[in-house]
Structure formats: C-alpha cells, structure tokens
Amino acid sequence: MEPLVDTVIEDDRWEGFGLPALATRAAEATFAALGVHGVTLALMGCDDAEIAELNAQFRQKGKPTNVLSWPSEDRAAGEPGGLPDLSGGDADDPDELGDIAIAWETCMAEAADQSKSPEDHVTHLVIHGILHLLGFDHIEDADAELMEETERRILRSMGIADPYA
C-alpha cells in the first residue's frame, strides 16, 4: 500500500519541523471528516525561492506564497456551494489526488504575524491544500463558505482553533 502522503523535503528546515508526520495527521483528519478513502497525495516542503518559481510558472505571479496545489483531476461541484466529488479508489489501487507545495519562510512569517503556533498554521495550510485537491475552492462566496467551514470542522476535530477568528 502506498503512503497516504508522500512527503518530499526540498528545504531541510521542514524535516526538523516534522512535516511528514504533521502532513499525515492533517490528511488523516481531513479524509476521516469527509469520508474519503483510497487516496494518496504528494507534498513538497520547500523555501520561498522555489515556491516563487512555481507560482510564476503556474499562476503567473512571480512572488512567494504559502501553499500551492495541483489537483490530478477536476473534482469541483457543478454548482457554487455544492460538495465536490469525494470518491476515491481502494487500498490496493488508491487514487492520486495531486501535489501540494508549502513554503517555509512565508508560513513561519504568517504564523508569527498572526500569533499562531507554526504547527497549527501549517496544519491548516496542509488541510487547505488537500481540500483544493479534492475540488473545494474559494472563488465564489458559496464555495468559500463551504471550504472555510470544512476547514474549521477538521481543525476543531484536531483541537486547533478557528484560523479565521
């Protein structure tokens, strides 16, 4: 069986932070809350320089950001505020949801600026990225409300405070 989260460390600070274990806990909580089974994803822990290159390449924004995601398929709901397709594969043949990248400097600066623990902030961002892989979005108001409430519910189940409060 493939690992739930295949974590690739491009910046050693993520290894010392414990990103692989944190990402697995975040994924387990997300999938349990949504009833998703038979899926895997890849997560890259990188620095601001690398994520700025990715942001320029894929979003035409040449600056660092906290987290980026690349879904392997479009799972979005047909109407604003609707649930995306949350079906998965099975243990022997899991569906690959896609890839996430997360940047060290931006995440740590945001956590400090928002007076949040780095672990709680990064957990929120990993969950946010996973929800994007699952087809959640925040462009339309109804979609943003659904995504934020889903994040709150998952974080609450992990004992983490509302990041939007």
Q: What is the pLDDT of residues 121-159, one digit of tens each?
A: 999 999 999 999 999 999 999 999 999 999 999 999 999
Q: Is residue 131 part of a domain?
A: yes
The predicted model scores a pTM of: 0.96
State which residues of the chain have pLDDT below 50: 1
Task: Report how far residue 76's alpha carbon sits from residue 142's, in angstroms, rounded to the nearest whole number.
Answer: 13
pLDDT at 134: 97
The annotation status of 121 as a binding-site residue, yes or no, is no
Q: How many domains does the chain have?
A: 1
Q: Identify whether 164 is part of a domain.
A: no
Exposed, middle or buried by CB within 10 Å (0-12, 13-18, 19+), for 1? exposed
Could you tell me how many helices (H) and strands (E) the chain has, helices first?
6, 4
Q: Is 132 annotated as a binding residue?
A: yes
138 is in an annotated binding site: yes
Is 88 part of a structural domain of the chain?
yes
Q: List the CATH number of the domain containing 105.
A: 3.40.390.30
Residue 130's nearest CA partner among 8, 36, 46 is: 36
Q: What is the pLDDT of residue 15?
A: 95
Contact indicator for 81, 45 with CB cutoff of 8 Å? no
Q: Is 57 a member of any domain? A: yes
pLDDT value, residue 92: 84
Q: Is 21 helix (H, G, I), strand (E, B) or coil?
A: helix
Q: What is the pLDDT of residue 90?
A: 84
Residue 162 lies inside a defined structural domain of this protein: no
Residue 125 belongs to a domain: yes
Provide the residue range defining the domain that includes 150.
Answer: 5-157
Judge whether 32 lies within some domain: yes
- Asked whether residue 62 is domain-assigned, the answer is yes
**What confidence score (pLDDT) does residue 146 get?**
97
